[in-house]
Structure 1
Amino acid sequence: MGIMSQLSIIHLLWAAMVFCQYDDYDFEDEYDEEPDHQHPYYFNPNTQAEVPRFPFPVECARECFCPPAFPLSMYCDHRKLKTIPNIPRHVQQLYLQNNDIEAVPAGPFTNVTFLREINLSYNKIKFHMIDHGVFAKLSNLVQLHLQHNELEEFPFPLPSSLERLLLGFNKISRLSGNALEGLPNITMLDLCNNFLDDSVLKGKPFSNMKNLMQLNLCNNKLQTMPPDLPSSLMYLSLENNSISYIPENYFKRLPKIIALRMSHNNLQNIPRNTFNLPNLLELNLGHNKLKQVFYIPRSLQHLYIEDNDIEIINVTLMCPSIDPMNTNQLTYIRVDQNKLTIPISTYAFFCFPHIRTIYYGEQNVNVNKSTQLRIPVFRRFLSPEEYDEAEDDHETHDHETEEDREADHYFHPYFQ
């Protein structure tokens, strides 16, 4: 019994000592310092701690909705608004998409200090109707949506805090010399579906964007590859342009590229080592004018070369050597709408031991009609469930709408 009493006393003393270690620790001390901006606000659970106390009930513009469960957000979307309402000081996320807004005056943004996201997509905003410097004054702004408007120019100046800028589906044909200066934190820039041509990019506007990871330039008027892209780039979208060639050493400065999409261009020949990239996972060169295949890196997993003029798949060009210790990772090839008359050589399975699907589909062997190889889809290592799922995917693709194709021009939503 005495031993038990002694053990109880020792246990109590130990517990008291542990408690005292934290008794003088002030948890509020951490929030006195400037927050760490290594991660975007939408992944930071402590974002709300940066905002001072705001009134209850939460102040909200009468045209909008401010849900009690999300007191830092103000929803003004789909309300047929023609003007921007006054914005309460505490708001961090402002949603104004799908309205009839034509101008962005400075007035509503007066004293708005903590705004981190603005969505003004699907409106009628023109460049000259944006008050000069209205966005630049928002020193905490991280994400700005201006896609589907009527912008003729890049909306500068912008705050240096900006990380994600979406300007797709506008009428932008000009980039002023200093438009992209002072944006060191931009990681994602979307300029798809505008009127950009080679002359706009002669000034190498992206060269100083040292943190840029994704650049979308699809559906523009480019005839050559954009010059001097930053080495930080990981995702590049150039679909639906008129690019006819890729300089041989173009990607030497872009070793981090993971996904490259260049479908619907005028490519005819690919220099041998063009895609000798250590991290490339997805390569889409469909709907071009290629006559033969090319070397692909060991890292590549998905290759799309449909709707070209390829008559035979020369596996040796794609895979000049086999290394059992460093095998090719290719799992999927799409080669439909070419001019193939025979399937890919079985040597491919030595070069690409992980291959799961080769989609042959229909081939354009004759001028007036398409033909189909004996095996339209070759599948390997697939369970019956996976096989059925893959079949459904191809049926969906065959019946996709124009809207579906438009959506496919963008990378995974995580990077949009």
Structure 2
Amino acid sequence: MTSSRILKILCLHLLSGALVLSQELDYIDYDIDDNSSPKVPRQSVTQQPDYDAQIMYSYECASECFCPSSYPFAMYCDHRKLKAIPNIPRHVRHLYIQHNDIEKITSKPFINATSLREINLSYNKLQSSKVDKDVFSILKKLIQLHLEHNNLEDVPSPLPKALKRLNLGFNKISKIPAEATQELTKLTVLDLCSNRLTDAGIKGKILSGMKSLMQINMCNNKLKSMPTDLPESIQQISLENNLISTIPEGYFKKTPNLLSLRMSHNKLKSVAYIAFNLSKLMELHLGHNQLSKPFFVPRTLEHLYLNHNDFKDLNISLMCPSLDLGNPNMLTFIRLDNNKLRGPLDYYAYRCFPRLMMIFYGNQRKDDEDDSEPQKYEKPKRPGATRLST
């Protein structure tokens, strides 16, 4: 065997040994050293851990109440003749304590109630003088507060900034102080029906600061004029059963998103012809007023209530001055009973309002009749297609 061949064999042995060694090293994660420990890669923390989510609650419940095992975050204390609010455990999110005999509210029961989202204290005997000033403001997560059907004379304040729904109906509230609403920028629903509100009680920019307000209910009060400075966000207004006699011209220019207006049982005698020229209005309740002149009906309107007014004729051409077959009027329902109309409604109404499904024409009054007694109404016959085409 030549020396060159022997040298090649030795090189092949050395190379194969190196390959085996390299394959074994591939399975070694780190060198084992008695004096050192393996290095663990550093982790970057992108957000703070939610410690509150890791707390193991005991889910205790006040002895006077009931907490269902299927949803322990709710505590039911309603219809139990309670005279005081029991201590509320930390984990409770929904407190139902309506229909009791509670007259006062102190801060003590709410000391640990940091998770509360909803409180229903309706149908109690709450008095404003017996409600601690800061009792609700400490509840930073509170979203809904029901205080209707009590004896409150004032709006509780301050209220938590997170509040979205505030129900104060059926109390004795006569005014809304500015400090009670100035922080409620997230409030979407405010119910003040069946109180003692007057024009002076909502004077100034009381409502304009509630930038998220979508629905305001002030029915069954003593208002003589439309509430001022409503926020642009408003979509539903309820003013039934007041003493309002007029709607200022251009009043709704500041509320372009209005969908529903309810003003039945007022003293309206006339409205500006284009008062309701709104691009989104769908529902308009004007029954039980003293209206006698037609007005422009916006294309988007679907339900129109004009019953129990003083209309002697209804000029459809004024209500619908033009036809647009490509963009038709959306009116589907109109109620006209208990007016002073003579003869059937002009069939042109079905051409102007092609989606019209129902007209409550019903009984009509004579000029010397009032509308104190409800009358039976019926749907008139819709004219045939041949007549419409002529």
Superposition TM-score, scaled by structure 1 size: 0.78
Gaps of 5+ in 2: 1-45, 384-390
Secondary structure of the equivalent of 1:358?
strand
- What pairs up with 1:180-329 in 2 under 5 angstroms? 180-329=181-330
Secondary structure of the equivalent of 1:341?
coil
Q: Which residue of 2 aligns with 1:349?
A: 350
* Deviations, residues 43-65 of structure 1 (Å, cap 9, x unaligned): xxxxxx9584211xx30001100
Task: Count the aligned residue pairs.
Answer: 339
Q: Which residue of 1 aligns with 2:171?
A: 170
Query: How far apart in 2 are the matches of 1:347 and 1:206?
Result: 42
RMSD over equivalenced CA pairs, Å: 2.5
Displacement after TM superposition at 1:379 (Å) = 6.0
Displacement after TM superposition at 1:367 (Å) = 3.1
AA partner of residue 255 (structure 1): P
Secondary structure of the equivalent of 2:309?
coil
Q: Which residue of 2 aligns with 1:23?
A: none
Query: How far apart in 1 are the matches of 2:128 and 2:343?
Result: 54
Q: Which residue of 1 aligns with 2:361?
A: 360
CA separation of 1:360 and 1:324: change in aligned 2, threshold 3 A: same
AA partner of residue 54 (structure 1): Y
Query: How far apart in 2 are the matches of 1:331 and 1:30?
Result: 53
Q: Which consecutive segments of 4 or more residues in structure 1 shift more than 6 A?
A: 369-373
Q: Which residue of 1 aligns with 2:380?
A: 378
Identity of aligned residues (%): 52
AA partner of residue 57 (structure 2): F
* 8 Å contact kept, 2:188–2:215: yes
Q: Which residue of 2 aligns with 1:121?
A: 122
Q: Which residue of 1 aligns with 2:71?
A: 70
* 8 Å contact kept, 2:273–2:294: no
Q: Please, which moves more after superposition, 174-183 or 249-258?
A: 174-183
* Deviations, residues 321-345 of structure 1 (Å, cap 9, x unaligned): 1111110000000001101121210
Q: Which residue of 2 aligns with 1:111?
A: 112
Secondary structure of the equivalent of 1:333?
strand
* 8 Å contact kept, 1:361–1:372: no
CA separation of 1:376 and 1:193: change in aligned 2, threshold 3 A: same
- Structure number, greater radius of gyration: 2
AA partner of residue 171 (structure 2): N
Q: Which residue of 2 aligns with 1:141?
A: 142
CA separation of 1:248 and 1:32: change in aligned 2, threshold 3 A: farther
Query: How far apart in 2 are the matches of 1:244 and 1:64?
Result: 49
* 8 Å contact kept, 2:133–2:156: no
* 8 Å contact kept, 1:293–1:318: yes
Q: Please, which moves more after superposition, 236-245 or 201-210?
A: 201-210
Q: Which residue of 2 aligns with 1:53?
A: 56
Q: Please, which moves more after superposition, 132-141 or 359-368?
A: 359-368
More helix by share: 1
Displacement after TM superposition at 1:128 (Å) = 1.2
* Deviations, residues 224-282 of structure 1 (Å, cap 9, x unaligned): 11011000000000000000000110001111001100000000111011000111110
* Deviations, residues 164-189 of structure 1 (Å, cap 9, x unaligned): 00000000012223111111100000
Query: How far apart in 2 are the matches of 1:350 and 1:323?
Result: 10
CA separation of 1:380 and 1:277: change in aligned 2, threshold 3 A: same
Superposition TM-score, scaled by structure 2 size: 0.83
Query: How far apart in 1 are the matches of 2:211 and 2:308?
Result: 35
Q: Indicate yes or no: 2:154 matched with 1:156.
A: no
AA partner of residue 187 (structure 1): T
Gaps of 5+ in 1: 1-28, 35-48, 382-416
